[in-house]
Structure 1
Amino acid sequence: MDRRDLLKLSPLALASTIGHIALAESPTPAATEALFNVRTYGATGDGKTVDTPAINKAIGSVAAAGGGTLIFPAGTYVCFTIHLRSNVDFYLSRGCTILAADSPRPGEATGYNGGTYDAAEPNAPWESYQDYGHNHWRNSLFYGENIDNFSVLGPGLIHGAGLSCGANAREAQLKELSPRGPGTRFVAEQAGVGNKTFALKNCHNVLLRDFSVIKGGHFAVLATGVDNLTLDNLLIDTDRDGFDIDCCRNVRVTNCTVNSPWDDAICPKSSYALGYARSTDNVTIANCFVSGSYELGTVIAGTWKKFPDTVKVTRNGRIKCGTESNGGFRNITISNCVCEGSKGISLETSDGALLEDIAISNI
């Protein structure tokens, strides 16, 4: 097939017909990339089978091949911890849902079908400087540490139904949104429980674009020590924080919608979780909509249902530097953003660090 004809096909069309394609005849870097179909490695997408072993096997194969794009066709992929790798891009096709499997319930050793999320790694002696969520990365749906040059793209959905979101959860709404019936509040500190959608530590050159997250756990994205990070055109409808950008440098958050009624939406932070003070520098937050007004799930659904005035909701949903601020903040630009039903913008140096060269405009 001529390369020009090949490029006319969508990634989903390609993935549905072949396991992978290597366009080695062209000298351009883009043409030498391979496309891989996660179904080729045994992922079912049937909404019942735990697909994590097949997905992690596929990721390993793509990495061993030198990198490429792993395509997820339409379907529901039930998963525990997915291990991200350098040079491996994900494409979540239209109609694809990555569903976080139920964590172990209180007092139980395993979760859905006997599975668990990766164990939270120790982070002593730094654990007392920030809360549990900031101290651990492995107990997450997507986990990457010391890796570079990867992305998660596409119009698919990530549903964190089985993740812990901590004490600020609202049980009634969690029950409504659980695809497996009435929900139980999972305890983040319990072994085998997952509590973040994305947890990234000490990574470089990361792109997250175009997908949606509903009920993201404690964090939809926790990025710690991540440089050259782009979050673009993401729709986050969640019960705790949207993005925590912690000890990161050269970050672009653009064109995102974050509804987070019970916690913060977009948070540059500079905790001590890495074991040393590292500032968060050179962050642009632009063209975003943040809110604390809407019931969980209604932004994703497009119904935009506001909480009644009688319902007790903290309605945070703000853009916030802090609270964790050991390393400080430098060169932060916030522009062309809309804050609705939220606490707006907060600049905090609770831990005594610097906060300098902050530009805020057209809010």
Structure 2
Amino acid sequence: MLIFGLNVKAQNYYNVLKYGAKNDSSKLATLAIKNAIDAASKAGGGTVYFPAGKYLTGSIHLKSNITILIDAGAELHFSDNFDDYLPMVKSRYEGVDVTSFSPLFYAYKAENISIIGRGLIDGHGKKWWDFVEGYKEGQARSKWQTMFDGLNKDIILPDDPKQMKRGFLRPPFIQTMFCKNVLIDGITIKNSPFWTVNPEFCENVKIHAVTINNPHSPNTDGINPESCKNVHISDCHISVGDDCITIKSGKDAPGRKMAVPAENYTITNCTMLSGHGGVVIGSEMSGDVRKIVISNCVFDGTDRGIRIKTARGRGGIVEEIRVSNIIMKNIGQQAIVLDMQYAKTNVEPVSERTPKFRNIHFSNITGQVNQAAYLNGLEEMPIENITFSDINMDAKTGFSIGISNKIEFHNVQVNTEIGPSVSASNVNYLTIDNLKSYTPLVKSPVIDLKNTSDVFLYNAFPVKGTTTYLKLSGEKTKNVILGNNSFKNAKNGVIKENDVTENIDVISGDK
């Protein structure tokens, strides 16, 4: 082959049929696939090729410079015999570093690896799901649990070690550990035993045009890049039994010990259907999550849209997040969640165990949802510097903001069925610019602020039929400034409860 005048040898193809695999699923192909990978690796790299047909296999371990090509019409069916995923390997499970069942596709400290093609891979996860859901505390331990116990005597446990002590951890479908230059492109994946695409501690990961179907199944998240750097997810279609895309960086003390952040991620042009969340950050974020861009996505039928969650004990920082150009429809709960009390805990002094959410920005979002947003900070660590710009929501209930600082709304429309469009409690430095509701409610103000200080509200123009636009209450409510508002269509522009002792400062233009 001539490229730019140079004679370049085409990369070798290693057809698994030539290494003894059967494409009628009549024989376990694990050894044949291993032999094809070994031959390609010995030659310096190559493409391990699956022509059309059905293959039955156990775990597949990739090496550097290997491409797995699953052609159109080819199906890889993974065995549901747990022994086919032994010996156990170094892995990470929900942010904790362990030795456990081999993932179905696994790579460790490899470079330049790919899983591509228009074929199907099926994890046949039901037997894994049933084992976990049928397990009862105190019953006799299986040989796999006993094996796990022996291999994990000295692991660092999270705050809640119940899952680790149970000792049966389902394997992820695709897990690459400490790898560079990972590509997953074009394939269809279904019935994962656990998390589906799960790069760990990797650099330069591209996941493109992948379809994932794991409906009605426990913990079968779609794409979970954890503690990775430079991740690109695009043009994917996801419908799963848990979160569609989740960004993580380790859990509690194990995550803080590794201290490897998830950073430099772009997620774009994806469609999410069934799932607990469209894109979720956390709750395992102890190694930090930063520099994340989420854009041009459709969430239709997920429980939540964008969800960022943590709890005391995690530690870590979530920051520098941008979410834009999102359509949300049929969202069962909240369009946007920032919850620092995902697990209920008691107030404690600020330390390495204290998580932080800051510098997170949402813009150009359209939604038909149950609740527009829910922000819930920690008493000792409020959420900080969050903006909502150019947002249109039809929601049963509106924005609920609690224990937060430096919150801004710009050109936000929220039409609610129940309650205010925006309610805030224990918030400092709140800016509200041109916030509208076209469905004002007789018994609720459009904006309800309690114990909220340093408020600047401007460019308000409530529609006809508005009973009350702004209600203020709480003895901590102070330094409220209004400017350039027209309340002529509202029966009450502003209502101030008796426990608000400070006057409102009107600077210009209010009527």
Q: Secondary structure at the match of 2:102?
A: coil
| Correspondence 1:160 to 2:123 | yes
Q: Per-residue displacement from partner, 1:299-355 (whole Å, max 9, x unpaired)?
A: xxxxxxxxxxxxxxxx51421011101111110000001111111111124313111
* Cα 1:69/1:228, change in 2 over 3 Å: same
* Cα 1:286/1:164, change in 2 over 3 Å: farther
* Cα 1:187/1:199, change in 2 over 3 Å: farther
* Cα 1:94/1:243, change in 2 over 3 Å: same
Q: Secondary structure at the match of 1:230?
A: strand
Preserved CA contact (<8 Å) 2:14 2:49: yes
Aligned to 2:324: 361
Q: 2:213 aligns with which of 190, 215, 237?
A: 237
Aligned to 2:179: 203
Preserved CA contact (<8 Å) 1:137 1:199: no
| Correspondence 1:87 to 2:48 | no
CA distance in 1, matches of 2:222, 2:189: 9
Q: 1:326 aligns with which of 279, 282, 286?
A: 286
* Cα 1:237/1:198, change in 2 over 3 Å: same
CA distance in 2, matches of 1:259, 1:354: 29
Q: Which amino acid aligns with 1:344?
A: G
TM-score relative to the length of structure 1: 0.72
More helix by share: 1
Q: Which amino acid aligns with 1:246?
A: E
Aligned to 1:120: 88
Preserved CA contact (<8 Å) 1:137 1:143: no
Q: Which amino acid aligns with 2:308?
A: L
* Cα 1:358/1:37, change in 2 over 3 Å: same
Q: 1:291 aligns with which of 270, 273, 281?
A: 273
Q: Secondary structure at the match of 1:283?
A: strand
Aligned to 2:37: 59
Q: 1:246 aligns with which of 217, 226, 233?
A: 226
Aligned to 1:47: 25
% of aligned pairs identical? 30
| Correspondence 1:335 to 2:310 | no
Q: Per-residue displacement from partner, 1:120-146 (whole Å, max 9, x unpaired)?
A: 3467xxx8xx64887456521111000
Q: 2:243 aligns with which of 235, 241, 264?
A: 264
CA distance in 2, matches of 1:148, 1:163: 32
* Cα 1:231/1:55, change in 2 over 3 Å: same
Preserved CA contact (<8 Å) 2:49 2:68: yes
Aligned to 2:426: none
Unaligned stretches of 5+ residues in structure 2: 135-141, 149-168, 327-511
* Cα 1:285/1:189, change in 2 over 3 Å: farther
* Cα 1:199/1:231, change in 2 over 3 Å: same
* Cα 1:201/1:102, change in 2 over 3 Å: same
Aligned to 2:276: 316
Q: Secondary structure at the match of 1:222?
A: coil
CA distance in 1, matches of 2:38, 2:196: 24
Once the two structures are TM-superposed, the CA of residue 194 in structure 1 deviates from its matched residue by 5.8
Q: Secondary structure at the match of 1:62?
A: helix
* Cα 1:198/1:163, change in 2 over 3 Å: farther
Q: Per-residue displacement from partner, 1:33-85 (whole Å, max 9, x unpaired)?
A: 21221111111122120000000011000000111111110111111111101
CA distance in 2, matches of 1:358, 1:188: 40
Q: 2:15 aligns with which of 37, 49, 73?
A: 37
Q: Secondary structure at the match of 2:85?
A: coil
Q: Per-residue displacement from partner, 1:195-217 (whole Å, max 9, x unpaired)?
A: 22111110000000000001112
Once the two structures are TM-superposed, the CA of residue 103 in structure 1 deviates from its matched residue by 2.2
Aligned to 1:218: 194
Q: Secondary structure at the match of 1:220?
A: coil
Q: Secondary structure at the match of 2:265?
A: strand
| Correspondence 1:68 to 2:31 | no
CA distance in 2, matches of 1:318, 1:187: 37
Preserved CA contact (<8 Å) 1:164 1:188: no
Query: 1:133-148 residue pairs with structure 2 within 5 A?
Result: 135-136=98-99, 139-148=102-111
Preserved CA contact (<8 Å) 1:141 1:194: no
CA distance in 1, matches of 2:298, 2:54: 33
Question: Relative contact order (alpha carbons < 8 A, sep ≥ 6): 1 or 2 greater?
Answer: 1
Aligned length: 288
More strand by share: 2
Q: Which amino acid aligns with 2:234?
A: T
Q: 1:346 aligns with which of 307, 311, 314?
A: 307
* Cα 1:191/1:168, change in 2 over 3 Å: closer
TM-score relative to the length of structure 2: 0.52
| Correspondence 1:101 to 2:83 | no
Q: Secondary structure at the match of 1:347?
A: strand
Preserved CA contact (<8 Å) 2:268 2:295: yes
Q: Per-residue displacement from partner, 1:233-290 (whole Å, max 9, x unpaired)?
A: 0000013111111000000000001101x31110110005675111100000000011
Q: Which amino acid aligns with 2:32?
A: A
Cα root mean square deviation, aligned: 2.9
Aligned to 1:150: 113
Aligned to 1:183: none
